[in-house]
Structure 1
Amino acid sequence: MIMSFDMEVFMTGVLTGSHATRQRHVRQAKIIQAEIAARWQRETPWVWQRKHVAWFLDHRMSQRSEATRYYYVLTVRLLARRLEKSWVFML
């Protein structure tokens, strides 16, 4: 039996703030995970490279509002912190 990856458990160590903020980050991380898995067949953040996340921000978020992109960049920064990567993403 294959266990699905639990993004909420993965992000628990880096999530702070209100319940709504934590839930938003988890929801956005799940969306990022699904998009990268569909495009690159990389199921878990442990196997992601910077190019995968950059692709998501550049191509999947290009038609979104500035505010939406900002919140996704915040989520990506949390993912990078959890992965202990030195990825830098700007708007």
Structure 2
Amino acid sequence: MSKPFDMELFLAGVLTGSHATRQRHLRQAKIIQAEIAERWQLQTPWAWQKKHVAWFLEHSLNQRSDSTRYYYFLTVRLLARRLQKTWCFNH
């Protein structure tokens, strides 16, 4: 039996800002994780590649407002920093 992935623990080292900002990043990271897990069965960010995150940004957010996409982009930057990746995305 394996434990579910703890996104809060995963991002703990890179989360900064107010309580509301940290909660928003956690909520959005969990949404990103759920969408990627549903599409590719990759349960943890350690298994993600740039193409998975790019897919999320392009397909899951294409009907969202510019501000929503920007906030998700900020969350993706935190995830990339935590994974020590140099991913760059156009927003």
TM-score, normalised on structure 2? 0.99
Partner residue in 1 for 2:52: 52
Q: How many residues align?
A: 91
Please give the alpha-carbon distance, in whole angstroms, between the structure 1 residues aligned to 2:89 and 2:74: 9
Displaced runs of 4 or more, over 4 A: none
Alpha-carbon RMSD: 0.4
Contiguous gaps of at least 5 residues in structure 1: none
- One-letter identity of the residue aligned with 1:44: T
- One-letter identity of the residue aligned with 1:5: F
Contiguous gaps of at least 5 residues in structure 2: none
Post-superposition Cα deviations, 1:2-40, rounded to whole Å, max 9, x if no partner, equal: 200000000000000000000000000000000000000
Alignment of 1:55-74 (within 5 A): 55-74=55-74
Identity of aligned residues (%): 74
Please give the alpha-carbon distance, in whole angstroms, between the structure 1 residues aligned to 2:68 and 2:8: 20
Please give the alpha-carbon distance, in whole angstroms, between the structure 2 residues aligned to 1:14 and 1:2: 25
TM-score, normalised on structure 1? 0.99
CA positional deviation for 1:89: 1.3
